[in-house]
Structure 1
Amino acid sequence: MTACPTADEIASLAGIDTPTICNLLEMVMPVRRGFGFTVQHLHCLYPHMKPIVGFARTATMRAKDPAGWTPDEARSRRNRYLDYVASGDVPKICVVQDVDERSGYGALFGEVNSTVHKALGCLGLVTDGSVRDIDQLAPDFQVLAGLVAPSHAFVHVAQWACEVNIEGMVVQDGDLIHADRHGAVVVPLTAVRGVLDSLDLMVRREAVILDAARRPGATVEDIKDAWKQSDQINE
């Protein structure tokens, strides 16, 4: 069984932006270059917040039509869902797929659910659905959402602890998620240490190219040469 990242490792990941995490994953696990991240724009409500890193609490939702449950059934399902969110390792990130034919018809998250999920250890939300109550969302609760909408309509959680797909990013319950204003990516637990250890190498490789390109009077040949030098930095 893969060891859970330490608090220090999670904090270190949160100090790196999501595009850089994607680059580092390419170095550590080349196969991840083509998948594992969102591929469509999501609205980031707090673009200046630092990245969030946490373990996925996954769910699907619907809002277009009533669920058809009795009040007791609805209450029981809500309680079981909340028990699920409260379980597991911290920190957590809610990852919710809207499975209605028209996603975003009603918002699951607003003032109440952001506050509740924050209390249960969640740092934020990644969803292809909608969000509302922008001015009343829980403080420091990051949101990446497909839409902003005014109503919750007939919103209900359909399933939880399930596989979800958020704009191309397939997420399993408990996956480690890294997200910021650029989008989100799944970080395999086996790659965490390698990602952090590879940061210095990546920075040094890019610095050669950036320094050459920023030098006054830089020519195309200077940049070609710098790129060649960068490719030769392997340790």
Structure 2
Amino acid sequence: MDPDLLALLRGADTATVCNAIEMVQGRRGFSAFTRGTMICSAPDEPPIVGFAVTARIAARAPSTEPPDVVRARRMAYYRAMHDGPKPSVAVVEDLDFPDCIGAYWGEINTTIHKGFGMAGALTNGVVRDLGDLPRGFPVVAGSVGPSHGFVHVRSLGERVTVLGLEIAQGDLVHADRHGALVVPPDVVAGLDDGIRRLRETERLVLDPARAPGFDFAAFERAWAAFEKART
């Protein structure tokens, strides 16, 4: 990824990127984002930005496969996470959703993934060890829980679904405390200008609203300028 684009995306929250995508597309209706409220292990850190490395897990019951098969798939999982193009994001669908009980993301697993050079993790599953997770590897998860259950890897590299958002291997993901989205490939080249224009347009309302003496007349003038800039 272009370093300037990466810095731009890491400097903008997911809500801003969502609006900027619509700015580039020239219309409302962008819908490739998560639904519902998610948990972010590091809400004050920069957003997670990177290419998805996907997997599926389950934890409510032990695997019925032979132990050597389970271990081989687990090692293949770690190899895939290690080898994914950087920056990369671990995107893991918990097949037990909405009744997830196994915290795949704890101190040990997050530290391993960070050591592989990954940017963070996105899951509909469970995170734990909130006081012990390494800095620089946020986890955006569906819930918080205390146990790992019978967690095991079920598949690798397939299209997954995380809180309503479908994500394919290699998709460009942006995630923070607001949730996550997939950046459409056809808007990437225009995101720099889109984010800049979005921020300029928002200031047409924000600057007057923050100034002393803001009243309804000032609001009307600001809103008229705001609407004109958006059309």
Provide the TM-score with structure 1 as the length reference: 0.90
Residue matched to 2:166:
170
Quickly say closer, same or farther: Cα 1:101–1:92, change in 2 above 3 A: closer
SS in 1 for 2:119: strand
State the shift of 1:222 in Å: 2.5
What amino acid maps onto 2:50 in structure 1?
A: G
Q: How much is the aligned-residue C-alpha RMSD, in angstroms? A: 2.0
State the shift of 1:75 in Å: 1.7
2:130 to 134, 139, 144: 134
Displaced runs of 4+ in structure 1, greater than 3 A? 30-34
**Pair 1:107-2:107 in alignment:** no
Q: How many residues align?
A: 231
1:221 to 200, 217, 221: 217
Residue matched to 1:148:
144
Structure 2 gap segments, 5+ residues each: none
Quickly say closer, same or farther: Cα 1:32–1:157, change in 2 above 3 A: farther
Quickly say closer, same or farther: Cα 1:56–1:31, change in 2 above 3 A: farther
Q: How does 1:10-89 map to 2 (within 5 A)?
A: 10-30=6-26, 33-89=29-85
What amino acid maps onto 1:99 in structure 2?
A: L
8 A contact 2:18–2:30 mirrored in 1: no
Q: Distance in 1 between matches of 2:227 and 2:209?
A: 16
SS in 2 for 1:233: helix
Residue matched to 1:184:
180
Q: Distance in 2 between matches of 1:9 and 1:32?
A: 23
What amino acid maps onto 1:200 in structure 2?
A: R
Residue matched to 1:123:
119
**Could you report, residue by residue, the CA deviation over 1:158-210 in whole angstroms, capped at 9, with x for unpaired residues?**
11211111112211111111112221111123212211112222222111111
**Pair 1:8-2:35 in alignment:** no
8 A contact 1:94–1:124 mirrored in 2: yes
* Amino-acid identity (%): 41
**Could you report, residue by residue, the CA deviation over 1:139-162 in whole angstroms, capped at 9, with x for unpaired residues?**
321011111111111101111211
Structure 1 gap segments, 5+ residues each: none
Q: Distance in 1 between matches of 2:98 and 2:59?
A: 9
